[in-house]
Amino acid sequence: MPATIIDSVIFRDMFSADEMRHVFSDAFRTQRYLDIEAALARAQARLGIIPQKACDEIVRHCHVEQIDMAKLKVTTERIGYPILGVVQQIVALCDGDLGEWCHWGATTQDITDTATVMQIRAALELVERDILAIAHSLAELAKTYRDTPMAARSNLQQAVPITFGFKCAVLLAAFHRHIERLRQLKPRALVGEFGGAAGNLSSLGGMGLKVQEELMKELGLGQPEIAWHTTHDQIAEVGCFLGLVCGTLGKISMDVKLMMQTEVEEAFEPFHEGRGSSSTMPQKRNPIASAYIHANISVVRQHVAALLDSLVADHERSTGPWEIEWICLPEIFCLAAGALKQTRDLVAGLEVNAKAMRRNLDITGGMVVSEAVMMGLGPALGRQRAHDIVYDICRDVIATGRPFLDLLAANQEIALHMTRDQLAPLVDPANYLGQCGEMVDRVLKTHARITA
């Protein structure tokens, strides 16, 4: 019976995703072992190292449906690794002694690591798909709300006006960097392993590197320049990449949670009947997707730390650090997939309340653009003097509740340089958006290029 969130019948599709669970399932992983054994047989037959008849017989039995998984469990528990158990079953299925040519010159770690790389390849395709979907949704939001003013927040306090399109474009630019990172790491990460017992291919004599080359061609993987049995930095890099992606997903979930607050109401997760409702407070609409994203990405970060610890391996074949990877990598991918799925749906259906954004901009009576007033007065009064005057007036607004513009216009020192009519445009947040629009356009231009 499932005991983890990832496999729970109730929770699994909230915290993970079916396609990613499949990639890290016993059946998918074992089939990758078999794919490698079949590819090795074909490569070696082509090079004349094993008989073609043996190759054909081995390949005929490299299908997971022919593997007795219960028997494989028993042999794995006895031996400590699954590969020998798989090979033993292939050998037993083959006619005569033809199966004895299976796994020729290979070692357990060659098959295990290469299978892991093949799982990573399949998993990264799912990750890239979701990253692109989120990026496209953010691009649409950035375009739609390019000029929609809202308050930026600094230390959770209103800072200066920005646009919601700008806010979305900032996140979109981060996803562009993730897309670039993914494309850059693939050539490093999608490299197979075939080195034999200690990595030097001694079991195949002078043919080792040629077998390695042909094997990687069969599998569509890069050929390593040297064995990497105990230097798994490229695997750890994949984990770190997912940690970075999840950090951005967490940023999105954090901002949405804050914007959904009753006192703010600037944006909401997509509405579904009953979603986010409270058992005791009917009025509530809780940020459910954001809560799951937050939980998932926090655990991913901890697993990434453990994956980095697995790099500290001993000599040419390790005693334990390797197995950390077996535990952490599938969970990193499965939890990241859950966070990506929740974010994809959240961003695609995000409900934006532009009226509330404007309302919140106006609650300070124009003080949100006190910087604009200060900068407008700076040339006449000097920056520091302008700052001090505006600061004191802001305190008076807070204390008395009188309009910011009224107190500015009543100030005798300001009145020497600006009339009320000249001050009025300075306290309109819509007039102090800087170059938000231009920067949104730049990000959208990059989006068109990077996703073409």
| Per-residue tens of pLDDT for the chain, all 452 residues | 788 889 899 999 999 999 999 999 999 999 999 999 999 999 999 999 999 999 999 999 999 999 999 999 999 999 999 999 999 999 999 999 999 999 999 999 999 999 999 999 999 999 999 999 999 999 999 999 999 999 999 999 988 999 999 999 999 999 999 999 999 999 999 999 999 999 999 999 899 999 999 999 999 999 999 999 999 999 999 999 999 999 999 999 999 999 999 999 999 999 776 565 555 666 667 889 999 999 999 999 999 999 999 999 999 888 889 999 999 999 999 999 999 999 999 999 999 999 999 999 988 888 888 888 888 888 988 899 989 999 999 999 889 888 888 988 898 888 888 889 988 888 888 888 999 999 999 999 999 999 98
- Residues 418 and 377 sit within 8 Å (Cβ to Cβ): yes
CB atoms within 10 A of CB 99: 20
- Residues 170 and 255 sit within 8 Å (Cβ to Cβ): no
Cite the DSSP H helix spans in 205-364: 208-219, 233-259, 288-309, 321-348, 354-362
How many H helices and E strands in the chain? 19, 4
Q: What amino acid positions are annotated as catalytic residues? A: 278, 317
Any idea where the domains of the chain sit in the sequence? 13-106+203-224, 111-149+167-193+228-354, 367-427
**CB neighbour class for 56 (10 Å; exposed up to 12, middle 13-18, buried from 19):** middle
Helices 108-144 & 321-348, crossing angle to 10 degrees? Answer: 20
pLDDT of residue 368: 86
pLDDT of residue 69: 97
Tokens representing 65 are 């449906």
What superfamily in CATH does domain 13-106+203-224 come from?
Fumarase/aspartase (N-terminal domain) (1.10.275.10)
- Report the C-alpha dihedral over residues 102, 104, 109, 112, rounded to 10 degrees: -30
What residues contact residue 179 under an 8 Å CB cut-off, 6+ apart?
Answer: 128, 131, 132, 135, 450, 451
Of residues 253, 332, 242, 343, the one with CA closest to residue 294: 253
Domains 13-106+203-224 and 111-149+167-193+228-354 alike in fold: no
**Highest CATH level, class, for 367-427:** mainly alpha
CB atoms within 10 A of CB 297: 26
- Report the C-alpha dihedral over residues 19, 21, 22, 27, rounded to 10 degrees: 180
Q: Which helix (H) or strand (E) holds 311?
A: none
Cite the DSSP H helix spans in 190-231: 208-219
- Residues 353 and 267 sit within 8 Å (Cβ to Cβ): yes
pLDDT of residue 108: 94
What residues contact residue 103 under an 8 Å CB cut-off, 6+ apart?
Answer: 37, 40, 83, 87, 111
pLDDT of residue 364: 86
What residues contact residue 298 under an 8 Å CB cut-off, 6+ apart?
Answer: 250
Greatest alpha-carbon pair distance for the chain in Å reads 105
Indicate left, alpha or beta for 418 from its phi (over 0: left) and psi (-120 to 50: alpha): beta
The CATH number, out of the four listed (3.100.10.10, 1.10.1060.10, 1.20.200.10, 1.10.10.60), of the domain defined by the range 111-149+167-193+228-354? 1.20.200.10
- Residues 162 and 149 sit within 8 Å (Cβ to Cβ): yes
In whole angstroms, what is the distance from residue 436 CA to residue 109 CA?
53
Helices 83-93 & 26-46, crossing angle to 10 degrees? Answer: 60
Helices 288-309 & 321-348, crossing angle to 10 degrees? Answer: 160
Residue 275 has φ and ψ, to the nearest 5°, of -70, 130
- Residues 346 and 138 sit within 8 Å (Cβ to Cβ): no
In whole angstroms, what is the distance from residue 168 CA to residue 170 CA?
5
